[in-house]
Amino acid sequence: MADMTEPRLFGDPHETPDGTTVITVSRPAGVFVIRDGQAKWEPAVDATRVAVLAVTTGLVAATLGALAVLHRPPWPDLRRRH
């Protein structure tokens, strides 16, 4: 008998109408898909969220870089001083 105080890592298997068995996994998040006798791991990743995070990070880095260059350019000061 299983110890009910321990957290479950695997969910109950579910069978789809085409005969595929899907087993959810809590850590790391994802599912095992069993189709035609072959098991395949499919992680639960939201590609849109990853893309938005990457674009936002790039925009913040570009903005900070531009502000740093405008505030104090990396080239020497060529103005004449009297």
pTM: 0.45
| Structure confidence by residue, pLDDT tens digits, 2-43 | 566 777 888 889 899 998 998 888 777 888 898 888 989 888
pLDDT digits (tens, 9 = 90+) for 61-80: 999 999 888 887 777 777 77
Given this model, what pLDDT does residue 2 score?
Answer: 58
As a whole number of angstroms, the distance between CA 46 and CA 30 comes to: 11
Rounded to whole angstroms, what are the CA distances from 32 to 25, 29, 36? 7, 10, 13
Provide the pLDDT for residue 4: 65
Domain residue ranges of the chain, discontinuous segments joined by +? 14-43
Helices (H) and strands (E) in the chain, counts: 1, 4
